[in-house]
Structure 1
Amino acid sequence: MKKLFIILCISMGALTACKKDSKSVENKLSEAQENDLFTLTGDFIYYADAAVLQTSNEIYGVALDEKMHELDKAVKPYKKDVTDMIKVTIKAKKIKKPASEEGWPYRLEIKEILKVEKPDTIKQDVIKLGN
């Protein structure tokens, strides 16, 4: 019984040691990807000094720089309301936000605007309250 317990402890120790190694490899990969440019498609909005890109599975803050203002000018003709989100495709650098700041874990720095899409006029996914 004592031998079984010792073998079990050694096995568990070996498994957890391997688990830590795989995490460090994954962390190195994600750090390497942060330095690369990503092509992202999502809904973009700039309103009251805040810019956001919402993809199908992530939400990113967007750095308020010259390229972001260029993108905002490109989407303005498609907006009916200031709060409308317009589908765009961009190349951006993903930057981890400082721990001292509020917001989403990553911020995007737009490097290239690839496409601005005309909104689907049939799609009615906004509920507006009338007086």
Structure 2
Amino acid sequence: MRNILYLLVFALSFSACKKESKQEEETIEIIEKTIANDGLTLIEGDFIYYEKAAVLQTKTGFFGVVLNEKTKELAEKAKSFQKENTDMVKVRVRGLIEPKAANTEGWDYIVTIKEIVSVESLTPEENEIIKVSK
């Protein structure tokens, strides 16, 4: 009986290590790409897309997002995680951060998305929206 218990614990710990190892490998790959000399930055935050505008909110601030093919691809992926079109989604992207052009409206910095790393839904607590109806 004792041997079976040890065998079970060993098997469970081995399978748990295997899952963590895969996640660690993916994280290491992303970090290596980010450190690479390609000028791109890994950005994690909440993303929302409207017909003519996209915004990325991170822990440090807001970024305007350049509307390009990758942004549209990200918006399509985000739709499956949104209950309403006003819902934000949690994203990890690699992109180029630049200051906005002088004498233009918008956020101080803009992001040009070059690579989509992950997309997931926010928890209801993270996605609080105040709705005003007439």
Normalised by the length of structure 2, the TM-score is: 0.66
- Partners in 2 of 1:102 and 1:126 — Cα distance? 25
Match of 2:119 among 112, 116, 119: 116
Residue 62 of structure 2: aligned partner: 59
Corresponding residue pairs, total: 97
- Looking at structure 2, the residues matched to 39 and 55 of structure 1 have their Cα atoms a distance apart, in angstroms, of 11
Deviation per residue, 1:45-94 (Å, 9 max, x gap) = 01130000000121000000000001001100111111111010000101
What is the aligned-residue identity percentage? 42
The equivalent residue for 1:39 is 42
CA distance in 2, matches of 1:43, 1:124: 9
Residues 1-131 of structure 1: pairs in structure 2 closer than 5 A: 36-121=39-124, 123=126, 125-129=128-132
Q: Does the 8 A contact of 2:87 with 2:127 survive in 1?
A: no
Q: Give structure 1 regions of 4+ aligned residues with deviation exceeding 3 angstroms.
A: 121-124
Which blocks of at least 5 consecutive residues in structure 1 are unaligned?
1-34
Distance 1:123 1:91, change over 3 A: closer
Structure 2 SS opposite 1:69: helix
Partner residue, 2:15: none
Structure with higher Rg: it is 1
